[in-house]
Structure 1
């Protein structure tokens, strides 16, 4: 399965999502993460700590053709705001597109742009993933979900809460379940497990 994490805006949890989807899929079959982000966030994440914190390899696009045949699943982390040609290639070459969206007005502008591009391409293999969702009683996440649902835009049932555990995981170079000193690390991991299971279930 090829899953591409795509957004016309950076800072929406794209690399975090790619890393945790790859972590989950790797528990099922050999999985490769392709780091197509210009700032190489996933690569830097994989090199922190002792450099052995992620259970799967992280490579650049240049190595993909040679490496792909050895893996059952490929997760692709893309450039924030990719060029139109890169956007089309990602949309055509993937079994599923995950579109992270933060329930904030600025980030929602980027989501609107991403969805418009997908509509132009008549691509229906995508789902929006709400990320960095603030805790209740704040209602931004529910409002964005309602807006997308009313527009018949597919949205993951699961969502990713805004938790410091993810920042700690990035700093330590591990998946979030590997963060030992945060009581929310298990909750954070369970959220991505649920998202990945939705992808597997179709």
Structure 2
């Protein structure tokens, strides 16, 4: 099992959308649970709109004792949508201490980098969780903002995904329609929107494969 926390101190960067859509992509070939520990319960509300038609299970729980036992559940992947602030330290601590990986979404605005860095330094690094920053909500019409965000992250020595997620109106409608990327309509824009998340998932899975192979080689040597 892999436990993936989707975290971030700043609201409005697409944290819940990231969690839901990465869970959807993973569910194409695995048993997946998404756990909503955000007091706003955005993921839970999204799931309610689907009429039980999501390709993965959704649960909401903020009990640190239950969150500490996520690894005992019968799933291949557990995605956890965490609060959009540093409040609820006991809940965040329970999630990150048991997580294998953290995805940290950020929009490409320079003002979003400060809260992101605080999340990394105050929350993620102290708990020893492997992570990558996901540059999200990228406007394809303004490529310079993407390059600026990449440069800022690279200069700070922050680990990030090579791929990014573009801003599409279909993502904004999805919660109301109770859909995730693997359920979008069959048109070009929807396909491109889904491909963004598939690239992120592939990159994440590939990193785990390399880690596993390196560990196996170390044991052999």
* TM-score of the two chains, using structure 1 as the length reference: 0.90
Q: Distance in 1 between matches of 2:197 and 2:57?
A: 19
Unaligned 5+ segments in structure 2 are: 208-221
Matched length: 201
More helix by share: 2
Q: 1:56 to 1:177 in 2, by over 3 A?
A: closer
Q: Which runs of 5+ in 1 are unaligned?
A: none
- Larger gyration radius, structure 1 or structure 2: 2
2:56 maps to 1:56: yes
Q: Partners in 2 of 1:34 and 1:131 — Cα distance? A: 21
1:169 aligned partner: 174
> After the TM superposition, which segments of 4 or more aligned residues of structure 1 sit over 4 Å from their partners?
62-68
Hey, what's the Cα distance between the residues in 2 that align with 1:196 and 1:89? 24
SS in 2 for 1:71: coil
Structure 2 residue 113 is matched with structure 1 residue 112: no
Deviation at 1:47, TM superposition (A): 1.2
Report if aligned partners of 2:9, 2:115 keep a CA contact under 8 Å in 1. yes
Cα pair 2:37 2:91 within 8 Å, conserved: no
RMSD: 2.2
Paired position in structure 2 for 1:18: 19
- On the 8 A contact 1:177/1:188 being kept in 2, the answer is no
SS of residue matched to 1:98: strand
Residue 155 of structure 2 is aligned to residue 154 of structure 1: no
| Distance in 2 between residues matched to 1:33 and 1:85, nearest whole Å | 19
